[in-house]
């Protein structure tokens, strides 16, 4: 089955930022019905507008939302990590903060680009990694953790 996309005059461009790779530049694009897809640098639709939300590609994966859940797609529009998370961040240094609901609690952890948890959900909030560290909170206390989940510095708390 071949999916066809047509660019319609009057499309809404919101938060468009190009991302380059070896073979393509894809930009998120919202259509007049509010659905998101991706176009290349020539304006050709490469991934049909079927998502409720779509974000830029980071580490060759883009965060998208469908049916109320977040997941990650590749540049062909295929899910690499299924839409299963209550909330999610973009990948940074090959790790993405994702939120799951366990026993009525929203907890954040980190997955790799294969969708496997490398740092189990345990945080009440989680930031993106930068220079090998991420800011997280547990019960109101703030910490900096490394990409193994080890506390490197206590920011606020005991």
Considering only CA atoms, which of 32, 28, 33 is closest in space to residue 47?
28
pLDDT tens figures, 94-147: 999 999 998 999 999 999 999 999 999 999 999 999 999 999 999 889 999 999
Tokens standing for residue 97: 């903060």
Q: What is the mean pLDDT of the chain?
A: 87
The arithmetic mean of pLDDT across residues 147-154, rounded, is 90
pLDDT surpasses 80 at 13: no
Res 153: pLDDT: 84
Res 73: pLDDT: 98
| pTM of structure | 0.82
pLDDT surpasses 80 at 27: yes
pLDDT surpasses 70 at 84: yes
pLDDT tens figures, 34-48: 999 999 999 999 999
Check residues 24 and 11 and name the one with the higher pLDDT.
24
pLDDT surpasses 60 at 17: no
Domain borders along the chain are 1-85, 88-158
CATH code for the domain defined by 1-85: 2.40.10
């Amino acid at each position: 089955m071949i999916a066809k996309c047509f660019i319609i005059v009057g499309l809404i461009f919101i938060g468009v930022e190009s991302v380059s790779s070896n073979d393509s530049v894809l930009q998120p694009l919202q259509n007049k019905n509010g659905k998101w897809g991706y176009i290349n640098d020539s304006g050709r639709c490469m991934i049909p507008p079927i998502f409720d939300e779509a974000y830029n590609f980071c580490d060759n994966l883009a965060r998208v939302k469908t049916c109320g859940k977040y997941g990650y797609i590749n540049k062909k529009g295929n899910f690499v990590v299924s839409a299963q998370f209550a909330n999610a961040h973009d990948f940074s240094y090959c790790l993405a903060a994702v939120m799951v609901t366990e026993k009525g609690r929203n907890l954040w952890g980190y997955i790799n680009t294969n969708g496997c948890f490398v740092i189990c959900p345990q945080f009440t909030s989680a930031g993106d990694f930068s220079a090998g560290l991420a800011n997280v909170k547990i019960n109101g206390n703030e910490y900096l953790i490394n990409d193994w989940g080890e506390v490197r510095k206590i920011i606020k708390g005991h």
